């Protein structure tokens, strides 16, 4: 099984994460940010990742440090769990509707972190507490530590919750494709011989 445990403790956050890439979508997530817990749960379910995540942060100040540091830890865990990356499919892409919203995510486990993030929220979009702008920081932290090229494009949407949900579901499905072992790939899926 491709698994990883990562802990990160700073003056702002204390995060422990266990990840199993060959899971069935079982998760136990507690970040003290209920909306973000919901989105990470969706990601796990659609990526077929088993994940335990416990995060404490200075949320009395802002959610930013916690959300960004979870991105760092998740990216680090993914890279660690992939190990040599031998036999992985490498690429993944998914387009997912959520009611009136439609998001497309494509990723490449390339070793080259790069983020294209085209997600716009209507000025009328309101979230109870969560700032949608934090998601770009989460994905930037994730790709920087995972070594992943990630393109997120929302074609359209009105409701911020639906937009974000379609992004996380599409991200999960694309990630599931990319990390899947393909029995026909005998080595590293690159003409360079390494990722």
Write out pLDDT tens, residues 2-27: 999 999 999 999 999 999 999 999 99
The class level of CATH for 3-179 reads alpha beta
Residues in Cβ contact with 123 at an 8 Å cutoff, skipping those fewer than 6 apart: none
Half-sphere exposure of 25 (CA within 13 A, CB side): 12
CA distance 131 to 129: 7
Q: Which residue has the tokens 């989460």?
A: 138
Residue 128: band (very low, low, confident or very high) from pLDDT cuts 50, 70, 90: confident
- In tens, the pLDDT along 41-69 reads 999 999 999 999 999 999 999 999 999 99
Q: Which residue has the tokens 């335990």?
A: 52
CA distance 150 to 160: 21
Residue 85 φ then ψ, to 5°: 70, 10
Residue 126: band (very low, low, confident or very high) from pLDDT cuts 50, 70, 90: low
Dig out the tokens for 151 from the structure. 């393109």
Contact 177, 90 (CB under 8 A): no
Burial label for 35, CB within 10 Å (0-12, 13-18, 19+), is middle
Cα 70 from chain centroid (whole Å): 9
Report pTM.
0.95
Q: Pick the closest to residue 135 from 106, 168, 107, 112 (CA basis).
A: 168
């Amino acid at each position: 099984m491709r698994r990883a445990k990562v802990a990160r403790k700073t003056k702002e956050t204390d995060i422990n994460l266990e990840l199993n890439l060959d899971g069935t979508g079982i998760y136990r997530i507690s970040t003290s940010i209920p909306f973000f817990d919901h989105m990470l749960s969706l990601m796990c379910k659609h990526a077929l990742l088993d994940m335990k995540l416990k995060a404490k942060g200075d949320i009395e100040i802002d959610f930013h440090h916690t959300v960004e540091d979870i991105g760092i830890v998740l990216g680090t865990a993914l890279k660690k769990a992939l190990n040599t990356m031998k036999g992985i499919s490498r690429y993944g892409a998914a387009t997912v509707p959520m009611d009136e919203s439609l998001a497309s995510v494509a990723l490449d486990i390339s070793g080259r972190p790069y983020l294209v993030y085209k997600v716009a929220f209507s000025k009328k979009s309101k979230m109870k507490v969560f700032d949608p702008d934090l998601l770009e920081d989460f994905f930037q932290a994730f790709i920087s530590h995972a070594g992943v090229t990630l393109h997120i494009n929302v074609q359209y949407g009105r409701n911020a919750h639906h937009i974000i949900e379609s992004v996380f579901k599409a991200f999960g499905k694309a990630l599931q494709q990319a990390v899947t072992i393909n029995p026909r790939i005998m080595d590293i899926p690159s003409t360079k011989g390494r990722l």
